Structures are given as C-alpha cells and as structure tokens.
C-alpha cells in the first residue's frame, strides 16, 4: 500500500535538526524548548505510526515516485514501527536528563546533533534498500561521533577514536559486501534481493554467502557482538550519561539490521542458502553473553559495568534471534524493549551516583558516604533487579520468554547454561557493586560530591517505572510482538508489497 507514513518519522527529525540550528539564534533555552517539543512530537507521531502499521499491511513510500527496484523505497511494517517508537521514547528520556543535568552546556550543537542522530536511526529502521541503509548508517554514525565526543575530555577522546576507526573500517566492509551482492544479484533493494536469491546459480552461492558474512561482520560491529565488542566499554563508559543512554538503541540498530537483512534474504525462499547465518549467530550470542558477564564482574566502575550489561542484553538478543523461530523472535522483541530502556536508565543512575560521590565518581572503591544514599540505593536495587533479570520485573519475563522459546532446540543445554550462568554472574557483580557503593563507606565524612538533582532523579525513576509497566502490560505487549514476529516471518508479504507497489499517477 502506498502511503506517506514511512517517510514521516524520517522527515520530522531532519526538519527538526534544521529548525534546532536556527533556534540557536535565540540561545540555549530556545534550542532546548524546540528539541524537547520535536522529540515529544516524534513520540506521538511514532505511536501513531505503530497504530497505522498495526493494520497488518506493509506501507511503502516510493522516493521520487520511482518504482522498486529501480528507486529507493521506505517500508513501514510493525517491526520498524516498534523500533522507531522505542527510539523516540528513549530519546525523550535521555533528552530530559541531558537538560536537567545541563549536559548540553558543555559544548556546541548538542541539540542539532541529537535530532540528526534520530534522523539517522529512523532512516535505518525504515529503509528498504541496502545502499540506503549504508547511507543512513553513516548519518547516524557521524551524529554519534559528535555526540560521543560532546563535552570533551581525554578518556572520551581515546574511547571516541577507537569507536570512529572501527566504524570506518566497518563502513568499508559494508561497501565491499554491497558491491559483491550487486555484482551477483544485480540489485540492492532488499525485497528484490530476497526474490532473486532463489535464482543464484550453484557457482555463485559461495560468493553470496561470503557477502552475507561480510554484512554480518558490519552489523556485528554495530551490535557489538563477539569478537567485535572491544570498542563498546571504552566508548560508552566515558561519554556523557545522556548520550550513553541514547546509545542503548545503537547496538540494537545492528541487531535490527541482522534481523531485517539476513532474515529477509535467507528466508525459506533462498533454497540451499536458507538460514546460513543462524548457527553462527547462536554461538556468537552464547560466547558474547559469557564474556559480557565476565566483563560486568571485572568492571572497575559502575558505568563500565553498565556498558557490559548493554553488551549482555545484545548477546541475549542474538541468542533469541539465533533460535530462529517466530516465538523466539517475539520473545526477543519483548526483551529488546526492556533491555533498551532499562540499560539506558542504568547509565543515568550511574551518573547520578558518580556526581554524588564527587572525586570518587563511579569507581568501585570505599568512599565517604554520599548524600541521599538510601534513596539512591533503593533506586539502584530496583534497577539492578530489572537489568539482571530477577523477578518480579520485566527482565525476568523477557528471559523466561526467550528460554521458553529455546526449549526443544538442539542447543538448548548451551543456551540455558549460558543465560543462567551469565545471569548469576551479573547478579553477584551488581550485588557487590551495590554493597561497595552504599554500605562500605569510609569513616571520613568529607564528601566533595554535588547535591542530588531532584529533577534528574525523577527522570531516572520515570524511565525505570517503565519496567513494572512492561510487566503489567505484558499481555498486550507480547500480543503485539507475536503479531510483529508473524508479520516478519511472512517474507512473501514484504516482497510482494515492495515490488508490487505502483507509482502514484499525477493528474
């Protein structure tokens, strides 16, 4: 069905970025107001988009009215609609935190970069063209370089340099993969690629598989999967809290790209090439999860631990995707919503704690007692329960759903042991961090920390409260994720919707 809906969530942040740039004339207060209004508007728009996508049809927008596969298409289905909504909600909370803690005062153009980041993210979620995906990746990366380095600082520069270099290598590999696929299949439209997979001759199959593994490496760098995750802790732990929180969605972009591109290309239509990447994905997920749990254990600071917890959530999602059933995909999507929001809240909370501890920051060392330790400690306990997947919060339900989907899989023993052992390790590590931060205080009462910012705390608590909300609404949410998984698994529908799209005729 031809519609304007796929283009709107991409257009709004693009126009928003330009508007925010002009708002600079009025000063920072104006930029804040404009950015906040635009992000709130994006939340409303994307929730409307999800409702529209719920009509169970693929909505296609032909850019410049050029027919697929010749032109570029934007495709809205329920999966992409869910992702843009999640991005917008996360962006709203991160922005509120950034404003309450005045993160944006530490450098220029924070708000402009913020909108451009959203533009890149939404574009990557909506596009139906592989090369266009590359372009949107570059847009979101360039904005993320700016945001990551915003405010400056030596550790931030060092972490940022690693992040930029590895992503530039990733971009080169992406182009190699795109070129190879174009050389063999003669198209770059994802739906058209999927349709042509069946016709790949036996001689060319190896090349297509090589290209798909190259793409897996590229998306793996974004998703931070083993062994390509080494950039993540340094980059995430040293950037500002609001940016780290927003970046909780960035790893999920890589995961989404794997699901979208590999899931569509190597569906049952691909014949001999069906699911060539799946076994690899599952093993990588298991390995990443174990290493991430060790990382949480070894983390010297709370922010570093939060970065490894983000990694653990990505690993769990990789396992969910690697199980390769609609049920597992649905479970993964539930866990994705949970882990993005709660992982982000942990970065914000770590920042609040670090400010309260002054020069000791978030390092896990014995420090003088901080102000409002009981209040912050309670919030920390709550978020630790949510992120490690203990009952009764949403992390528990997400993990149960994924483990339930793993029942009967040939690698179920491995999946169960990895998920459960990793959860145990993370739980012990978080318990140790909590006791170091809040119980083992030194007798020296001189604390050079700043007073707790109540507005920032309210933002963090509001974000955390989404976890019980996810539990209470577990019925409708899993209903939605099941619907999404069912729609996604029906690749035929996607291909027909894109390739069967007729151009709009003028008068």
Partner 1 sequence: MEWLIAIVIGVMTASGIYLVLRARTFPVVLGLTLLSYAVNVFLFVMGRLQIGQAAIIDPSAPGYTDPLPQALVLTAIVIAFGMTAFLIVLALKARSELGNDHVDGMSYVAEEEAAKQHKAEQS
User: Is the bond preceding residue 69 a cis peptide, omega within 30 degrees?
Assistant: yes
Name beta bridge partners: 189: 129
Verify binding: residue 175, partner 1, rule CB under 8 A: yes
Verify binding: residue 235, partner 1, rule CB under 8 A: no
**CA dist., res. 463 & res. 373, Å (int):** 20
CB 257 within 8 A of CB 124: yes
Verify binding: residue 172, partner 1, rule CB under 8 A: yes
CB 111 within 8 A of CB 480: no
Nearer to partner 1, 180 or 453 (CB): 180
**CA dist., res. 241 & res. 101, Å (int):** 10
Verify binding: residue 171, partner 1, rule CB under 8 A: yes
Compute CA 127 distance to the chain's CA centroid, rounded to the nearest angstrom. 16
Nearer to partner 1, 220 or 322 (CB): 220
**CA dist., res. 344 & res. 386, Å (int):** 12
Tallying the residues shown for the chain, one arrives at 507
Verify binding: residue 168, partner 1, rule CB under 8 A: yes
Compute CA 138 distance to the chain's CA centroid, rounded to the nearest angstrom. 16
Nearer to partner 1, 170 or 322 (CB): 170
Please state the three-class secondary structure of 141-199 as a single string.
HHHHHHHHCCCCCHHHHHHHHHHHHHHHHHHHHHHHHHHHHHHHHCCCEHHHHHHHHHH
Nearer to partner 1, 139 or 289 (CB): 139
Smallest distance from partner 1 to CB 370, Å: 22
Compute CA 286 distance to the chain's CA centroid, rounded to the nearest angstrom. 19
Nearer to partner 1, 229 or 335 (CB): 229
Q: Which of 10, 124, 164, 497 binds partner 1 (CB under 8 A)?
A: 164
Which of 17-25, 161-169, 409-417, 497-505 is the region at the interface with partner 1 (rule: CB under 8 A)? 161-169
CB 226 within 8 A of CB 287: yes
For residue 297, give the nearest of 160, 427, 417 by alpha carbon: 427
Which of 137-145, 194-202, 265-273, 432-440 is the region at the interface with partner 1 (rule: CB under 8 A)? 137-145
Nearer to partner 1, 167 or 251 (CB): 167
Verify binding: residue 178, partner 1, rule CB under 8 A: yes
Element (DSSP H or E) covering residue 60 = strand 59-62
Which of 13-21, 147-155, 220-228, 253-261 is the region at the interface with partner 1 (rule: CB under 8 A)? 147-155
> In this structure, how many other beta carbons lie within 10 angstroms of the beta carbon of residue 482?
17
CB 69 within 8 A of CB 193: no
Which of 50-58, 130-138, 451-459, 475-483 is the region at the interface with partner 1 (rule: CB under 8 A)? 130-138
Verify binding: residue 155, partner 1, rule CB under 8 A: yes
Which of 165-173, 271-279, 285-293, 431-439 is the region at the interface with partner 1 (rule: CB under 8 A)? 165-173
Smallest distance from partner 1 to CB 137, Å: 10
Smallest distance from partner 1 to CB 237, Å: 14
Smallest distance from partner 1 to CB 299, Å: 16
Verify binding: residue 160, partner 1, rule CB under 8 A: yes
> Residues interacting with partner 1, by CB under 8 A?
131, 135, 138, 142, 145, 149, 152, 154-155, 157-158, 160-162, 164-165, 168-169, 171-172, 175-176, 178-180, 182-183
């Amino acid at each position: 069905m031809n519609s304007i809906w796929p283009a709107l969530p991409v257009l709004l942040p693009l126009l928003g970025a330009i508007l925010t740039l002009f708002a600079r004339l009025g000063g920072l207060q104006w930029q804040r107001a404009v950015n906040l209004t635009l992000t709130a508007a994006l939340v409303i728009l994307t929730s409307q988009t999800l409702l529209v996508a719920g009509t169970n049809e693929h909505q296609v927008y032909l850019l410049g009215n050029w027919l697929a596969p010749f032109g570029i298409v934007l495709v809205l289905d329920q999966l992409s609609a869910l992702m843009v909504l999640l991005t917008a909600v996360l962006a709203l909370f991160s922005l509120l935190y950034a404003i309450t803690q005045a993160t944006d005062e530490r450098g220029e153009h924070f708000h402009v970069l913020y909108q451009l980041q959203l533009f890149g993210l939404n574009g990557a979620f909506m596009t139906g063209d592989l090369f266009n995906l590359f372009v949107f990746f570059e847009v979101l990366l360039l904005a993320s370089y700016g945001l990551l380095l915003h405010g400056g600082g030596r550790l931030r520069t060092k972490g940022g340099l690693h992040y930029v270099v590895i992503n530039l290598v990733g971009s080169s590999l992406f182009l190699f993969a795109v070129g190879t696929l174009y050389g063999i299949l003669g198209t770059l439209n994802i739906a058209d690629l999927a349709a042509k997979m069946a016709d790949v001759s036996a001689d060319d199959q190896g090349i297509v598989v090589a290209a798909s593994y190259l793409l897996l490496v590229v998306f793996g760098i974004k998703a931070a999967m083993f062994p390509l995750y080494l950039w993540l802790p340094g980059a995430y732990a040293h950037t500002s809290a609001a940016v780290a929180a927003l970046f909780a969605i960035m790893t999920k972009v890589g995961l989404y790209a794997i699901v979208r591109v590999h899931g569509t290309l190597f569906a049952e239509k691909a014949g001999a090439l069906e699911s060539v990447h799946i076994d690899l994905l599952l093993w990588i997920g298991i390995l990443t999860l174990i290493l991430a749990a060790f990382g949480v254990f070894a983390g010297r600071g709370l922010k570093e631990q939060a970065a490894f917890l983000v990694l653990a959530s990505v690993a769990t999602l990789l396992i969910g995707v690697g199980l390769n059933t609609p049920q597992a995909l649905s479970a993964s999507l539930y866990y994705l919503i949970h882990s993005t929001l709660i992982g982000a809240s942990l970065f914000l909370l770590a920042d609040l704690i670090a400010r309260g501890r002054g020069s000791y920051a978030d390092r896990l060392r014995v420090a003088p007692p901080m102000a409002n330790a009981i209040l912050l400690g309670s919030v920390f306990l709550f978020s630790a329960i949510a992120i490690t997947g203990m009952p009764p919060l949403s992390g528990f339900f997400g993990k149960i759903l994924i483990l339930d989907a793993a029942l009967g899989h040939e690698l179920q023993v491995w999946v169960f042991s990895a998920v459960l052992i990793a959860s145990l390790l993370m739980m012990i590590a978080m318990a140790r961090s909590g006791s170091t931060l809040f119980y083992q205080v030194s007798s020296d009462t001189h604390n050079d920390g700043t007073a707790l910012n109540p507005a920032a705390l309210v933002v963090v608590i509001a974000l955390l409260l989404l976890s019980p909300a996810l539990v209470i609404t577990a019925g409708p949410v899993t209903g939605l994720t099941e619907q999404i998984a069912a729609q996604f698994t029906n690749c035929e529908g996607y291909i027909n919707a894109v390739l069967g799209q007729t151009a709009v005729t003028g008068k």
